[in-house]
Amino acid sequence: MLVKICGAASAEDVASLDRAGADLVGLWHGVPGGRSELTLRQLTLLAESVHRTERMRPVLVTFLGDAGALRAATAAAGVRWIQLHGYQPPGLVRALKADSDLTVVKVLHLGPDTRAERSLIPAYERAGTDLFLLDTAAGDGRIGSTGQPADGAAALGIADRLARPFLLAGGISADNREDYRAVVDHPLFLGIDVDTAARGLDGRLSADRITAVRRGWRAADGPGATG
């Protein structure tokens, strides 16, 4: 099971994630107003820090919809994973996959007004999406790092429509794995994406909290799942 932690903003954050055993590090670029937004220079420096670790991989998390700008950013930072966290169309996925070896993660939002997005799942898959991320859309329209728990039944309903693996996000904590047992047991479940529960009271990423989440979600996978 993969553990992705979103919103790293400093070398200290990267070190905390490494100590805690994270697999993927979400780096925000092109997230207007985001608390962890990075300039292209900052993105490049943090991606270098992630690459120096033994196991972790950086993921560009973005709301941008311009393929040229995204290709330039991933090339400059040496990032091979990109998470499209807005409502970008399947055509953007196709453009990104056309002439690159990028791994494209497309977010699908869980909420009452996302039926149109769900109808595009086959098109996203045909365009080359490698995996999906199921995340909660807040009632006020906010998306990403809302801290609001995902609806397990809604997530399972979307998972059953997928032909690609998926990550689960939305209020993930160290002690709520059992709330999502049916989702975790789905054959396409690949891992979790965490932000709010990975932070201490000061708002910074905490190695202790990340370790607790990782252990809580991997505990039932058996003794070989402690990495």
Q: Give the pLDDT of residue 149.
A: 73
> pLDDT tens digits, residue range 193-220?
999 999 999 999 999 999 999 999 986 5
223 pLDDT band, cuts 50/70/90, is very low
CB 28 within 8 A of CB 72: no
Distance CA 172, CA 202 (A): 19
**Spatial CB neighbours of 37, under 8 Å, sequence gap ≥ 6:** 28, 29, 31
140 pLDDT band, cuts 50/70/90, is very low
Q: Give the pLDDT of residue 49.
A: 98
> pLDDT tens digits, residue range 59-82?
999 999 999 999 999 999 999 999
Backbone angles phi, psi at 130, to 5 degrees: -85, -40
- 167-194 exposure pattern, b = at least 16 Cβ within 10 A, e = fewer: bbbbbbbbebbeebeebbebeebbbbbb
pLDDT, greater one: 224 or 35: 35
Mean pLDDT calculated for residue range 156-179: 94
Provide the whole-model pTM. Answer: 0.91
CATH topology of domain 2-225: TIM Barrel (3.20.20)
- Vertex 171 angle, CA 160 and 177, to 5°: 65
Q: To which residue do tokens 């196991």 refer?
A: 55
The SS3 of residue 90 is helix
From 19-33, 84-98, 105-119, 151-165, the region with the lowest mean pLDDT: 105-119
